[in-house]
Amino acid sequence: MYICLCKGITDADIKQSIDKGSTSLRDLREHLGVASVCGACACAAKDLVKVHTENANNDLGEGLFYRLA
- CATH number of the domain that 54 lies in? 1.10.10.1100
d(CA 1, CA 13): 10
Within the chain, residue ranges assigned H as helices are 11-19, 25-31, 42-62
* Residue 44 resides in a domain: yes
Does the pTM of the predicted model rise above 0.85? no
Domain count along the chain: 1
37-67 tens-digit pLDDT: 999 999 999 999 999 988 877 765 554 455 5
In a domain, 39, yes or no: yes
Spatial separation of the C-alpha atoms in residues 3 and 28, rounded to whole Å: 12
